[in-house]
Structure 1
Amino acid sequence: MGSATTYLIVGASLAGAKAAQTLREEGFAGRIVLVGEENERPYERPPLSKGYLLGKAEREEIYVHPPQWYAEHDVDLRLGITVTGVDPAVHEVTFVDGSRLAYGKLLLTTGSSPRRLPVPGADLAGVLYLRRLEDSNRIKETFGAASRIAVIGAGWIGLETAAAARTAGVEVTVLETAELPLLRVLGREAAQVFADLHTGHGVDLRCGVQVAEITGTGGQASGVLLADGSRIDADAVIVGVGITPNTQLADAAGLDVENGIRVDAHLRSSHPDIYAAGDVANAFHPRLGKHIRVEHWANALHQPQVAAKAMLGQDATYDRLPYFFTDQYDLGMEYTGYVEPGGYDEVVFRGNTSTREFIAFWLAHGRVLAGMNVNVWDITDPIRALVTSGQAVDARKLADTDVPLDRLLDHPTRTD
């Protein structure tokens, strides 16, 4: 079988597995090679900070496909292998052992890596990051052995691990540079809900602080020193200060890279036979009219389906609204839409924020940019319709629980 009929996917992740699945479902009969650095077959990452970390989901539940699926669908799954280079001119990749593989088309689903904390002591034992299955296992073991932990960073990963630790009976201190958790993502109005949630569950939440050092004894982390001189004792430290897209291969190959691999609405990079999807892709979004990079599960699930179809010559574009969810204690949340930091002029709440059963809407010039439903379910379709309509809405009616959301639009539009 020639290289032209070999479609190579680098990154044996949810995105990589879904791309391989879509290629087969769309009738591609050529060779599919799916390569991953980890020794685990493709799995989903949300359970690593949610159900699996809490012990509510079994290990087998996190995998995208059962083990036999890859052989049954003639997908050459190669695990524990690192690709060290891509040569677009000759359509070839190089592996760490020096071997090469020619391809007709290439999809990069290389994902992202946790951003490291640049302070003294960051390399001590007991300083933990969460990205891979082995990380989740290590943190789960830590919950069983530790009596107190410090979490640096009050983003989604930080808060979800903090909630899991408290649920496991561990004392938790969360350290955040901003004034509130999730401030950059949600804005002050909605971020306060998550601050109250965690303090209400016994978390020592310290915002507006700077970490100066992770202290240790005998090579083991024992706490955190803040810039103001205060110390937090901890048996382990979990760091969640963001992620960085894994663009090294794209950079070296000369592809356009800017906050990820820049791709068009078809997920095609600056080279016509190389595509990217998932965390690593900074994709042009037709509805928003700009490039965005979204670090959430829904992109890793849906983007590769579009990429695979585009690789097959279909006119497929990715225009789904960003979507993500979280589960913390008794709070479940879904968020639909896209708002840049400071990119709204009003937040409208519908429901009761004190009991944490509400919907929050972010508006600009009367238009709904995004909606977040908290402990209110089966409502994402109407929220999506409000966002995609582009119509201005009456904020008073938007806040009124007696007015159905679908009555707010003059002309309902297609969602996704």
Structure 2
Amino acid sequence: MVNNDDFFKGKKPAAVLKHAVFTSYAYAFCSMIGSGHTGPLWLVDGYAGPGKYDADADGAQVNGSPIVALTLAAKQRSFATPRDVRCAFIEANQAYALALSENIKPFVDEGLRADVYQGDVAEHLPTVWSRAVNNPVLTFIDPFGVSAVSKDVMTGTLLKPGRTAPSEVLVNINVEAISRHGGYLQWDSHHDPEIRRGLKPHGVELSDAFFGGEWWRRAFLEARDRTGDASAAAIEVVDAYRVMIKEETGASSLAVPIRRSPTGAMLFHFTLFFTHPAAAYKFADSASKGTEKWREAFRRKDLEEALSPGNGQGTLFDDDLREFSEKDAKLREDQLQAAAIAHIEGNISALIAPMQSGHGVQLAPNIERLVGAYLSLAGEPAIRRAWDNLADAGLVRARDKSKSRSMWKQYIVKR
């Protein structure tokens, strides 16, 4: 595993995004599942860290995913119909685990259920599962590197078939690391994959464990030979893995490529494995909310740097700079949403074109085809606007606005 000591020396930009997506989707998960479940719901963090990052430049300590989860749990408990959200945090580093126990103490003192387990994910998941019994569980797997969890743990514990309560897994699949591990491989004289001479196999073996064997090595080399692109080859391997998980557990998945723009380089893959029919729709919407918060965080960071002493700016220009930054950000967000709406309109039109009048397409099962290139950048607001525009143009029936909270159930029907 990659050394992560420096990760907690101030919050890293990617963490802003991951925690925003996790918070948004965990809230949706608890809301969806909790409305029809009377027992506890569980949030499990497999790579929890110490719970807080070191202070940023402004001197404020920043919360990590465990504090994010407990804040959500406290909010769910305050509802008119309280929900019992319990948390389990697993952390391999002993010092971080001790710090985490201290950092979550205020929540525990308020009566929230939160347990810290020091050690490996595979070591402690059976204990967590024995306590969760047959209650809904959302597991967050965000490792430093590709190690994540083994395929055996995914299929035999986290997504084990036959469990009646929903069990979903949100995992950060590091496509760049898989691509790098694939780069250690070559064909031998018999056209079988082998590790390049002089290289240590540790990274490749981590990918072996995640994918459940060495099958991915051949798949990677064949895809790289065909495409000439190691990143594309890694994505093909991940897609094959998702198919295997579906065949073995019945769990569907949605892989959200996290980018700053529709044409930007992929930073990482956030993948949700799920069984609830609304999950993919809610996750896509959560990802769009997360990336919006992320863009705003970057804007504020850039503004702080521009206003910092020694940057050549005088105080007379500070207010002008702030105003310009806010107006420019709003303009860019408006342009992004307009482009997303137009893109979704085109996708809807293409989907219903071959259909007869009165037939349509349901939102939840078709979220990837509807949002298309704007997956992680546009969510439910853009879908609503695109649908309304097409309805105004007489191409589709108007949506039922009285059921806006259950948009995922609705059909876009051709006129």
Q: Fold conserved (TM > 0.5)?
A: no
Greater helix share, 1 or 2?
2
Give the TM-score taking structure 1 as reference length. Answer: 0.29
Greater strand share, 1 or 2?
1
